[in-house]
Amino acid sequence: MKIFKFGGASVKDAKGVKNVVEVLETVGYDNTLLVVSAMGKTTNALEEVIKNYFRNKEELQSSLQEVKKYHNEILLELFEKESHPVFWKVDGLFAELSSFLGRNKSPNYNFVYDQVIGFGELISTTIISQYMQETGIKNTWLDVRNFIKTDATYRDANVDWESTQQNITEGVNKGLLNITQGFLGSDPNNFTTTLGREGSDYTAAIFAYCLNAESVTIWKDVPGVLNADPRYFENARLLNQISYTEAIELAFYGASVIHPKTLQPLQRKEIPLYVKSFVNPTEQGTSVSKGQDLEPHVPCFIVKKDQVLLSLSSLDFSFIVEENISEIFKLLHDHRMKVDVIQNSAISFSVCADNKFNNLEGLLNILKAKFKVECEEGVSLYTVRHATQEALEELEHGKDILLKQRLQNTVQLVTR
């Protein structure tokens, strides 16, 4: 069985949905499972709904209406008659979303986030499944929450592999074209959970692992895995082949083309991963597979914007020792700050972290009672794999470097 994953950019409008059908007709879709994200910027739009739910109730309905309008425009382009069943199916999902917002009593932001945000994927896959039926491509729509079971760590759930394996083995018919949602799962009480932003790649890997798939293909708006993000770097080059290990390293450091958790399940069963263009589906793209000789022969650049650099030292001129570092890491963990770089000396400890859950203020209040704290927000973290001196000099030119760290194959810079 093959697993195909289509992200939000590939289905951002009616033209994109039609192109997905063209891709399937071009490359074939027998014994295939499609994992599909929310359409376009729907996740961002639903995050606005969630923000208004908690902070600005007056704007809640208008922000929700914007999401409905966006999807309705796509529906009207794809289907000739408003009497088509897809219209009431999508209306039903929006009614379910509105009902949750009306009856919810939980003040837990992360819980509410997961219950709301998942409607993006549920709606997109409903529309695409129905459109494929309309064009003669028979398919089975699957609710991924019945298959991927997780714990109740909302917004970053951990997979219960044993239950998930059983559900997928028993519930997925390999002989059909199946379509399901990326990014989502459900906890032991059947509440919706999410696997972290951009988690649809991971969903594809979970299904591939449990189904012993022959391959996974991630369809992107770029020709494959590039050695740099073309939005930030000129002359980005395609990497035709890379190893699992190299792809894991690139993803870990923040390369946006592959979700960090995706590679390990595939590596465990040596399932090849292909990253290809949905614009030019017959082009080679990038293959990720086993092999030590598949390392890139050019420097690879990764940038993460809007990071936080914390520099800590003791209040009483004592050394920063294991006990202090252990306490710092516990606080970082408790405040769900994703650590990207650490650097320490006898009297100081620096950490560059991602404040994706907006818990920085609470963390600083605790740290400042125990340490002298310098905090620099809005910094950029550059990671260079297989760096050359020429590449580093070009990258560093004109930048205010706050921290620099060199490992065997990797150089990291934090810049203002």
Q: Which residues pair with 279 in a beta bridge?
A: none
| Cβ atoms of 35 and 20 closer than 8 Å | no
Give CA–CA dist 274/257, Å, rounded. Answer: 11
Nearest to 147 by CA among 204, 69, 227: 204
Amino acid letter for position 145: R
Consult the annotation and say whether 6 binds a ligand: yes
Cα angle: 396, vertex 401, 403; to 5 degrees: 120
* Full DSSP string of 208-235: HHHHT-SEEEEEESSSS-BSS-TTTSSS
Please, which residues have CB within 8 angstroms of residue 204's CB and are 6 or more apart in sequence? 3, 4, 5, 35, 182, 216, 218, 262
3-state secondary structure of 97: helix
Consult the annotation and say whether 349 binds a ligand: no
3-state secondary structure of 168: helix
* Count, residues in the chain: 416
State the DSSP H helix or E strand holding residue 50, giving kind and residue range, or none if neither. Answer: helix 42-55
| Cβ atoms of 250 and 385 closer than 8 Å | yes
Give CA–CA dist 338/353, Å, rounded. Answer: 5
Consult the annotation and say whether 5 binds a ligand: yes
* Dihedral sign (CA 280, 281, 283, 284): positive
**338-341, long-range: CB within 8 Å, 24+ apart, which pairs?**
340/253, 340/254, 340/304, 340/307, 340/381, 340/412, 341/381, 341/403, 341/405, 341/412, 341/414
Consult the annotation and say whether 396 binds a ligand: no
Consult the annotation and say whether 319 binds a ligand: no
Give CA–CA dist 44/368, Å, rounded. Answer: 33
Consult the annotation and say whether 8 binds a ligand: yes
Classify strands 140-141 and 2-6 as parallel, antiparallel or unpaired. unpaired
Consult the annotation and say whether 136 binds a ligand: no
Give the residue ranges of the annotated binding site: 5-8, 43, 121, 231
Give the residue ranges of the annotated binding site for substrate: 43, 121
Give the residue ranges of the annotated binding site for ATP: 5-8, 231
